[in-house]
Structure 1
């Protein structure tokens, strides 16, 4: 058991809830930030653990957003920053995507520097979109590693919401790196950079109409019925429980200091997902996938080598089959 207190921003997020669940299971005390009292109470009723409490940070972009909560919690020594917008339904790309991600990250780091001198470990949830070339920058021959950066410019990020999301993650990570260098901080910083994140929700889902963005990929296949075409699509995935575990390794293992932990398990296609569902749920109405298309689809999926990260993590990833089974089982039965 441990007496360490960990702060988790964006505590009601998909990944954040799994991080909290794993922290509590290891005996950590957790303070999570949410945007409203109602969201905090909802989360508390799901978690049901006395070692979890919440604080309200209504807006990431508000100057000094995290100052008061850090003044209030001098016991916190680890700060996990997971809060960042993940949506393509935006009116103003810069205001709704780029600024909250970038300014929110800098606000958090500023508050730590000013009001959290006892905080020694900071972990930021980034994304594999910071590493992979996408769209016009996709290179089917390149093997992407922890050293690579998506070359999208800030100006290009403003072109459409998808590019806006890519830019928001990339420029938030770069802003954090720049802050750590320029401000000569007294904390260690690490990044966790997952691709599409599948897996069950940490706590029972009441509203299954819309899952988080990554799991909508799985949900979109679940919603298909016999005769529906399966889109010829695929990408790279990791299970949410492995992403959460990587956040713990990021502050518990000194080898992770200053590293970009590139948590990627394997590639997938929607045909493969459909066939896993068919094999594990015999009563499903999901059409059978045509895996003879996989070779062609794989040409449009990034190749990667994250062996450096895997050595630091020291655990085996949850397989696609297990991840899909647990996700779909929860959708059907929760």
Structure 2
């Protein structure tokens, strides 16, 4: 049984983002209508151009939500929708915790408050992050469970001059925890699930955004010989299309209610990526392997997420090879 029948309208907040644009694309491909939110209408021009061409006019629309922190920010946007995927977040990667954490938490709570005012809403998916559970820690055997939270990031973000990535992790930790707290306290008439994706690779839908699309810019920069990406530790990846499909499945499947769905396909290292890129591009020179890189040894409870993909799409995780091929395809055109 599907919580939301095809033809219904789904709200995708922050729809012009790298992951959110894929979420909108997958809902449209599955037969739903999509309403997206953007901070200013001009940010959606490329989305209209893409989606009108692929799915026909009238399937996709966009509304402005200039500030998700304002009371009632999403009240108008949720009217008439049957489900919500909340992806809008503070992505400035500022290391000033008070500029990142409170607005991320407030935006997440605002979407739940607005959803509670709209009787037609059956399901809400909150887009969390792997960093809400833990930050990458190479060579450490860590067993992650549904009750694992990144308390270390929250603690470090409260110290003077914290790392910006740590602050981001703290914001996702605190926001997701706030969502679950509200869910338990208010017992809303709609189901709630959270998707926690790790590093997203795969195709970038927005033209010209190859080096500004979150983690998908990493393979692009590696392809171009940028060694600075090697400073990021090895961790897990997920193809962005799988992340988007997980949002669809989590929104429409009653079994996802109350679940934290771990979007972790497999661990990777930069040397893994370089080996694949060399194989896929035999005529191109790449930078040398990184010495002493280490591996991500975490145990992740990703079975429920993969089972949802198999149930609704007939396949498990997309391979790193396929994800990288499509991530760098535009560089070979």
| TM-score when normalising by structure 1 | 0.87
2:74: which partner in 1? 66
Work out the CA distance in 2 between the residues paired with 1:82 and 1:205: 20
2:32: which partner in 1? 28
Q: Is the 8 A contact 2:128 2:195 kept in 1?
A: yes
Q: Is the 8 A contact 2:97 2:167 kept in 1?
A: yes
1:213: which partner in 2? 214
2:12: which partner in 1? 8
The equivalences for 1:262-301 within 5 A come to: 262-289=262-289, 297-298=294-295, 300-301=296-297
2:120: which partner in 1? 118
1:44: which partner in 2? 48
1:78-103 deviation line (CA, Å, top 9, x unaligned) = 11111112342x263312x1122100
Say if 2:328 is the partner of 1:323.
no
SS of aligned partner of 1:152: helix
CA separation of 1:216/1:153 partners in 2, compared to 1, >3 Å: closer, same or farther? closer
Q: Is the 8 A contact 1:277 1:328 kept in 2?
A: no
Say if 2:91 is the partner of 1:86.
yes
Shift of 1:216: 2.5
CA separation of 1:183/1:41 partners in 2, compared to 1, >3 Å: closer, same or farther? same
CA separation of 1:171/1:229 partners in 2, compared to 1, >3 Å: closer, same or farther? closer
Of residues 309, 313, 320, the one that matches 2:309 is 313
Q: How many residues are aligned here?
A: 317
Unmatched tracts of structure 1, length 5 or more? none
The equivalences for 1:168-207 within 5 A come to: 168-201=171-204, 203=205, 205-207=207-209
1:96-155 deviation line (CA, Å, top 9, x unaligned) = x112210000111111112x12101000100111122556xx881222233322223645
SS of aligned partner of 2:121: coil
CA separation of 1:63/1:36 partners in 2, compared to 1, >3 Å: closer, same or farther? same
CA separation of 1:175/1:139 partners in 2, compared to 1, >3 Å: closer, same or farther? farther
Unmatched tracts of structure 2, length 5 or more? none
Shift of 1:39: 0.9
Q: Is the 8 A contact 2:242 2:309 kept in 1?
A: no
1:57: which partner in 2? 65
| TM-score when normalising by structure 2 | 0.88
CA separation of 1:156/1:288 partners in 2, compared to 1, >3 Å: closer, same or farther? closer
Q: Is the 8 A contact 2:130 2:262 kept in 1?
A: yes
CA separation of 1:239/1:158 partners in 2, compared to 1, >3 Å: closer, same or farther? same
The equivalences for 1:93-108 within 5 A come to: 93-95=97-99, 97-108=100-111
Shift of 1:310: 2.4
Q: Is the 8 A contact 1:79 1:123 kept in 2?
A: yes
SS of aligned partner of 1:193: strand
SS of aligned partner of 1:145: coil
**CA RMSD in angstroms, aligned pairs only:** 2.3
Work out the CA distance in 2 between the residues paired with 1:92 and 1:204: 29
Q: Is the 8 A contact 1:278 1:288 kept in 2?
A: no
1:274-306 deviation line (CA, Å, top 9, x unaligned) = 11111111232313536xx57x611x5534242
Work out the CA distance in 1 between the residues paired with 2:144 and 2:31: 36
